[in-house]
Structure 1
Amino acid sequence: MTTTSDQAIPSRRRRREAPPRRGAPRGGRTTRRRRKRGPLRTVLLVALSLTVLGTAGLGWIYLKLNGDIETFDGAGLSKNRPASGSSKGENVLVIGSDARTDGNSALGGGSKDDIGRSDTAFLLHVYADHRHAIAVSIPRDTLVTIPPCRLPDGTWTGTRTDTMFNAAFSVGQTEAGNPACTQNTVEELTGLRVDHTVVVDFKGFAALTDVVGGVQVCLPQDIYQGDLNPNRATKGERIFEKGEQNVSGQKALDYVRIRHGIGDGSDIGRIKRQQAFVSSLLKKIKSDGLTPTKLLPLATAATKSMTVDPGLGTADKLMAFAMSLKDVDLHDTKFVTVPWRYQGSRVAIAEPDASGLWAALKADRTIDGEDASGGGGDTATPSASGSPEAGGEASAVAVDGDGIDVAVYNGTTTNGLASEASAALTAHGFTVTGTGNASDPQHTTTVVQYGAGLRSQAETVARVFPGARLESIGGSTVNVVVGTAYAAAGGSPSADPSADGSSVAADARSADDDLCADLSYGSGG
């Protein structure tokens, strides 16, 4: 700025010292006019300099952000992914990593040489109208099918069934974890294509809370050091008082990690507090204003400890996605946990509720039954979408089964159902490879089973049996196990009122809900 002024002043002096032009008026009028133009020139030059400096500064920030963003190897993504564009909305998988590398051990404890693990995960579905969003938490000890995943040496694992969900992130036993394997697992579980994946570690999380000036949280009771670390021999000091308080950095991290000492001490209860925390964080960011200026400090803090998929690996893409959320209302931002039930000490997916939830998201319908596809329409449940898990009357959409082989089994004590189901499949062009009786004759809901890489075929089969649920199995076949619901309808698929995703609405949290409400699960909650 000083350089600009020094260049302008000598120029004015030369004009004043030069003899007046022939015929020019004598006196001070010419000088006065030039004095008026002199400051104007200076102001313009200063303004231009500031503009250039401002642009250069913004460019420098973007370059710095780009330099900080780490991406994981896209070669590890499945070759049998759900089709792109199967939903108008956008799906973003957010993984909280408890990796101890790069200074994280000081915040989370544990060995700095430990392998990367996923501490929490949720699938964020941003509806096509960009006014609604839902985050579906997946408990880390949920039993799922982990499809083939890529190892560090380039080979692929086999399919693993009935495996804890967070084991997917640890496939390969690397310090950085395996985000691609977790993404593959979520796509296998939901049938939804994950558009982007974001991994945030302890440092990134703590930095975010510092940048926003802390986040309001609530505790249902006093919390002690022993609640954070159950291996302590004593109760320890009190680290949180009951009630509302502002937390940031290490305190914020401690809040979202507390599992024991509240309710039944389960991960389900911790998820409820994590959902409350993210709700409060969103409130804070929205109140500060969702603008590029406000987002840049957040992005700067986040990118230092964040890993993303290759499609989100530049600052402009990251900022564009963040800005796309600016019109999402807090009340229309929902937090739910995937429908679940206890299976021993683990968590199992509850069907058909879970399949109904995924169907609702595919159809861009909210858990309250509202059309959020951005194209208007009624507020009916997703049964009219033709989605295999959607429930409702038999689909009016034509089903093309050409090239798909199916084996059919009668899962009831009613004779002839396998033959009836076979006829229905054949009428749609499917090839029935055989019929028989299932080993378990107590099936209520019709089940479409599928082997590795055959989910899309199974979804096509299930469209002939609305209300059917999908089940991943080993092998390389697609099977239909007909249930009593099919028999009760005289061979016609019957409606399943719980299969539209609405069953999770009662337990949903909105981002504007009472901060102190529903913070735990089980005894004492």
Structure 2
Amino acid sequence: MPRHALTLPRFAHAASGRLLSARHARSLRHHELRRRLLTSAVGIVVFLVSSVGFAYSNLQGNVGRHDIDELVGTERPTRPDEGEETPEDPQAGQALNILVIGSDVRTEEDAAEQGVTGMRGDATMIAHVSADRSRVEVVSIPRDTLVDIPSCTLPDGTETGKRFDQRFNSAFAIGGSTGDVAHAAACTLKTVESLTGVYIDDFVVVDFAGFEAMVDALGGVPMYIPEPVDDERAHVVLEQGCQVLDGDEALGYARARYSFKDGSDISRIGRQQELVAAIVREALSKNLLTEMPALYRFLDASTKTLTTGDWIGQLPNMAGLANSLRGIDPEGIRFATMPFEWAGPAVVPTAEAETVWENLRNDRPIDADITGTGEEPTEEATTEEPTTEEPTTEEPTTQQPTETPSAEETTPVCTG
């Protein structure tokens, strides 16, 4: 019988058909599975991208940005040479000076009770970020410093006229006499530049509500309270010892003054610096830059009441600067108060203040009171060049300092 005449039994055809059909079905199922996986992957990517976009848009919408270049004018200190821009940190290689203003915005009840109207600057600090991003120096300017306030522009275009021997915090009130925070910040910035000769790159205004939200977003701040606090005007009652302050308590502690011995703003500055140092330690300990959910919650809470300049208020710039500082040692964050002397109930800068401003202008370390560790610096800064004196033949001394801090004089650092 010829080979071509050979035929398969009918059941063999059926089996072969079923086999082909099964293979085809498996192929279709695999194709369908791949298609669904691909669709799911695309969906996840779209979801993540849209979520990040929404988060970015939401956070950016929290920040009130203002371009105040025209308000500040052109008669300003010389700006240091700009460094090369990088995608991570647009100002990499360039020292930055950010003016941080605590706005004394009170509730209607507080304002009526204390007879305070209008906006006032509660605490003002120059935050200097070194060009190599290894240091952040924060210098507080006492609110009762007597200064000359330059002429400032109001929203309607009128000028306020120069004022002499005014308390520093009145600059914010003068510029903000119509309720506009940007003009208040611009007037304060012009006053700071006139006082210090330091070019201010941008500003941030944080009101009381924003400060509370920032602390609460961290889950509270561990703080050592050296003596009991019962300040009715600051609405705060605290016991002595280590405790975790929530936003309301932290704000009250920062504002408290009348329940302390001298009741002055000067003594309050030291407590504010210790509190900011504690906030910095807590933020660094929570790895906010690497844990995105925690970072988002913190930014969402802390940016809602921020008012900033045009540059620092852009989240990519803010994030780039923060990213460049993520490896900073807490020892490299230093706090100081402008050197001053008393002039009646107010204060005036001393000659030593000019040394501080000169160091900031030239991106040199400053002498500080405390660091981000909550302790005094281990070594002081100097503006003198190293000497090459011949070594002396005198015997080294083993004499100890005549005074050492007692246990009561050393402030413990609390942890949460």
TM over 0.5: yes
CA pair 176-26 structure 1, distance change in 2 beyond 3 A: same
- Tell me the residue number matched to 2:285: 287
Query: Does structure 1 retain, via aligned residues, the 8 Å contact 2:111–2:117?
Result: no
- Please report the TM-score for the alignment, with normalisation by the length of structure 2: 0.76
In the alignment, the residues of structure 2 paired with residue 247 and residue 226 of structure 1 have an alpha-carbon distance, to the nearest angstrom, of 17
CA pair 345-111 structure 1, distance change in 2 beyond 3 A: closer
- Tell me the residue number matched to 2:179: 175
Is 1:60 the counterpart of 2:66 in the alignment? no
Match of 1:32 among 26, 29, 32: 26
Match of 2:102 among 96, 102, 108: 96
Structure 1 residue ranges without an equivalent (≥5): 1-19, 230-237, 368-504, 521-525
In the alignment, the residues of structure 1 paired with residue 114 and residue 41 of structure 2 have an alpha-carbon distance, to the nearest angstrom, of 54
In the alignment, the residues of structure 1 paired with residue 79 and residue 18 of structure 2 have an alpha-carbon distance, to the nearest angstrom, of 75
Query: Does structure 2 retain, via aligned residues, the 8 Å contact 1:95–1:118?
Result: yes
Q: Report the Cα offset of residue 227 of structure 1.
A: 6.6
CA pair 109-218 structure 1, distance change in 2 beyond 3 A: farther
In the alignment, the residues of structure 1 paired with residue 318 and residue 408 of structure 2 have an alpha-carbon distance, to the nearest angstrom, of 32
In the alignment, the residues of structure 2 paired with residue 78 and residue 109 of structure 1 have an alpha-carbon distance, to the nearest angstrom, of 36
The 5-angstrom pairing of residues 191-202 of structure 1 reads 191-202=197-208
Q: Report the Cα offset of residue 322 of structure 1.
A: 2.8
Query: Does structure 2 retain, via aligned residues, the 8 Å contact 1:86–1:193?
Result: no
- Tell me the residue number matched to 1:310: 310
Query: Does structure 1 retain, via aligned residues, the 8 Å contact 2:146–2:168?
Result: yes
CA pair 271-359 structure 1, distance change in 2 beyond 3 A: same
The 5-angstrom pairing of residues 190-339 of structure 1 reads 190-226=196-232, 228=234, 239-291=237-289, 293-339=293-339
In the alignment, the residues of structure 2 paired with residue 190 and residue 41 of structure 1 have an alpha-carbon distance, to the nearest angstrom, of 65
Is 1:340 the counterpart of 2:340 in the alignment? yes
State the Cα RMSD in Å. Answer: 2.9
Q: Which has the higher contact order (CA 8 A, sep 6+)?
A: 2
CA pair 518-83 structure 1, distance change in 2 beyond 3 A: farther
SS at match of 1:170: helix
Structure 2 residue ranges without an equivalent (≥5): 1-13, 83-93, 377-406, 412-416
Residue identity in the other structure for 1:221? E
SS at match of 2:173: coil
Query: Does structure 1 retain, via aligned residues, the 8 Å contact 2:334–2:372?
Result: yes
SS at match of 2:146: strand
In the alignment, the residues of structure 2 paired with residue 206 and residue 242 of structure 1 have an alpha-carbon distance, to the nearest angstrom, of 21
- Tell me the residue number matched to 1:363: 362
Q: Report the Cα offset of residue 135 of structure 1.
A: 0.4
- Tell me the residue number matched to 1:443: none
SS at match of 2:280: helix
Is 1:134 the counterpart of 2:137 in the alignment? yes
Give the share of equivalent positions with the same residue, in percent: 35
Q: Report the Cα offset of residue 358 of structure 1.
A: 1.4
In the alignment, the residues of structure 1 paired with residue 409 and residue 145 of structure 2 have an alpha-carbon distance, to the nearest angstrom, of 21
- Tell me the residue number matched to 2:349: 349
Query: Does structure 1 retain, via aligned residues, the 8 Å contact 2:155–2:180?
Result: no
CA pair 161-133 structure 1, distance change in 2 beyond 3 A: same
CA pair 201-135 structure 1, distance change in 2 beyond 3 A: same
Q: Report the Cα offset of residue 506 of structure 1.
A: 5.8
Is 1:162 the counterpart of 2:165 in the alignment? yes
CA pair 255-69 structure 1, distance change in 2 beyond 3 A: same
Q: What do residues 323-352 of structure 1 show as CA deviations (whole Å, max 9, x unaligned)?
A: 33212221110000011111111111011x
Residue identity in the other structure for 1:155? T
CA pair 146-517 structure 1, distance change in 2 beyond 3 A: farther
- Tell me the residue number matched to 2:379: none
SS at match of 2:172: coil
CA pair 228-63 structure 1, distance change in 2 beyond 3 A: closer
Query: Does structure 2 retain, via aligned residues, the 8 Å contact 1:126–1:133?
Result: yes
- Tell me the residue number matched to 2:371: 509
Farther off after superposition, 273-282 or 258-267: 258-267
In the alignment, the residues of structure 2 paired with residue 109 and residue 39 of structure 1 have an alpha-carbon distance, to the nearest angstrom, of 69
Query: Does structure 1 retain, via aligned residues, the 8 Å contact 2:103–2:122?
Result: yes
Q: Report the Cα offset of residue 509 of structure 1.
A: 3.5
